[in-house]
Amino acid sequence: MPPSSLRVVYAFAREMHPKTSDVFIQYGTAGFRTKANLLEHVVYRMGLLAVIRSRVKNGRTIGMMITASHNLEPDNGVKLVDPDGEMLEQSWEEIATRLANVSDNDLESTTEQVIKQVNADMSLKASVFIGMDTRYTSPRLAAAAANGVIALKGTPKEFGIVTTPMLHFCVKCRNDNTYGTPTEEGYYEKIVGAFKNIRDKLPVYGDYNTTLYVDGANGVGGKKLNIIRKSLDGELDLNLYNLGGNGGKLNLNCGADFVKVSQTPPVGVEHAPFQRVASLDGDGDRIVYYYLDDKEKMHLLDGDRIATLLASYVTELLRASEASGLRLGLVQTAYANGASTRYITEELKVPVSCVKTGVKHLHHAALAYDVGVYFEANGHGTVVYSKAAKNAISKIAQEGEPEQRKAAQLLQNFIDMTNETVGDAISDLFLVETVLRARGHGVRQWMEAYTDLPCRQLKVTVQDRNAISTTDAERRCTAPEGLQSKIDELVAAYTSGRAFVRPSGTEDVVRVYSEADTQEAADKLAAEVAQAVFDLAGGVGERPALPA
């Protein structure tokens, strides 16, 4: 592409999507995410980058999702999706950050430099899928994304309002037609279809009941479940709350992140004792479960609980089908409750890997296993299956002994129900409901598998989150000097104590996590560690207080 044909890049930027702010913005764990009014020029430029990425990948389709996930409504964001439905390759994050922050006057020359740097053949066709969540700022940003694609002569396809996992699914299907059909209907056909198939093979018995309450976080996931509900033929009776009407604000006092972090039920949901409730987040890629007991005490079933439930059931099916030689492993982050890690390794006898926070790290580590289960404690996760595992299971489903065949066929349905590209609240909901039904379990039996250590999460506002450096999958702090030794000293004073700190991937805060043998102790340890962070890492505002 000769330099003259890049002039339209500058023209679009100057006339329609000018850079009006000098705020530096960084491509992080979840792409770019900040106040929506700072993003239009960034999203336009990511349209340019998506076209370049598509051409580097020989014209394969790239995805762009306009969302700020579990953040509140004034925020928005954009993340790029690679051809296999995975997060953008990490080495491109720096390129994305550079392109987002140059001046309009330097945009044309920087685009040209990036094209040369990545050796993109600009004569190839380029395809970009664009999806958005329900935020009122999303349509304007989606239009900016499409203009970025058009400016470099790529072809945008806009999907409108979809969950983030639906867009990942469609990108994967577009580039690999054996995975499914790259449309929202294709998503329902594969994932909901597999759920209905497997339900036919599993009678309802024991403490399982088909009623499920769902907190939709006033976001897109609840809206899509409302569509799906009509096709479930009573196989699952969904009672949906927080669907965005009646003045409900996206993620405000509701949704998976609110429930997980605050450990309190969302507003807007009716409750009956021991009735299971699933909370989705704003863009439908996270899910946690909870229930209230007969004393109205809340019991949280988070990503760790979902991971152990799914891993134990898949292990059962692999054994029953006698699919020998397949390695199943579970991937967690430092946020995983220590009790869950012990249960997985000692009771389930499943190997565990611990990696840095961020789905891209978990997903990559899970691919090392034939069957890799990964979940963050916040409820973002899925199961991935190698080609060898799928082939072995398929062979047994066709040629095995009757009992082996039966287990392998269940596992095939389970695989089809799984969105392997990324954590998917809707897919994960169906997986969880399938396991509970297969076992005749209600929430109490699920909860009884192991007892969580009490924990607490806090955040400390700092001048510069990059003052904190970590190692050992973020479990140890290497900077600022003296902080880790202080944390070690604090932790040593508590029974079953554990704590770590890490810089947020999305805002200028340091996240603090603690565990101990009682909730009171976990709360106090978290506050003490937060004070140490404030003192040693440049805290802003009021120093955190110890619990009364």
Active site residue 69: yes
Cis peptide before 547 (omega within 30 of 0): no
Give the E-state strand segments of 237-363 in sequence order. 237-241, 277-280, 287-292, 298-301, 328-333, 352-355
Token readout for 390 is: 């799928």
Burial (CB < 10 A; 0-12, 13-18, 19+), residue 221, is buried
- Which residues in 466-487 are b (16+ Cβ under 10 Å) and which e? ebbebeebbbebeeeeebbebb
Token readout for 163 is: 């969950």
**Whether 130 contacts 146, CB under 8 Å:** yes
Give binding residues as ranges: 69, 281, 283, 285, 376-378, 502-506, 511
Q: Half-sphere exposure of residue 338, counting CA atoms within 13 Å on the CB side? A: 17
Give binding residues for substrate as ranges: 376-378, 502-506, 511
E strand or H helix at 213, and its extent?
strand 211-215
Which residues does 239 contact at the CB level (< 8 Å), separation at least 6? 211, 212, 213, 214, 270
Which residues does 370 contact at the CB level (< 8 Å), separation at least 6? 326, 327, 328, 385, 386, 388, 389
Give binding residues for Mg(2+) as ranges: 69, 281, 283, 285
Give the E-state strand segments of 395-541 in sequence order. 455-461, 469-471, 476-479, 498-503, 509-515
Burial (CB < 10 A; 0-12, 13-18, 19+), residue 21, is middle
Amino acid type, 340: S
Active-site residue identified among 54, 69, 138, 514:
69
**Whether 220 contacts 161, CB under 8 Å:** yes
Question: Where do runs of H (alpha helix) occur along 458-518?
Answer: 483-491
Which residues does 51 contact at the CB level (< 8 Å), separation at least 6? 62, 126, 128, 148, 149, 152, 153, 154
Helix (H/G/I), strand (E/B), else coil: 433? helix
End-to-end CA gap in the chain:
65
**Would you list the DSSP string of 514-544?**
EE-SSHHHHHHHHHHHHHHHHHHTTB-SSPP
Strand 287-292 and strand 298-301: the pairing is: antiparallel
Active site residues: 69
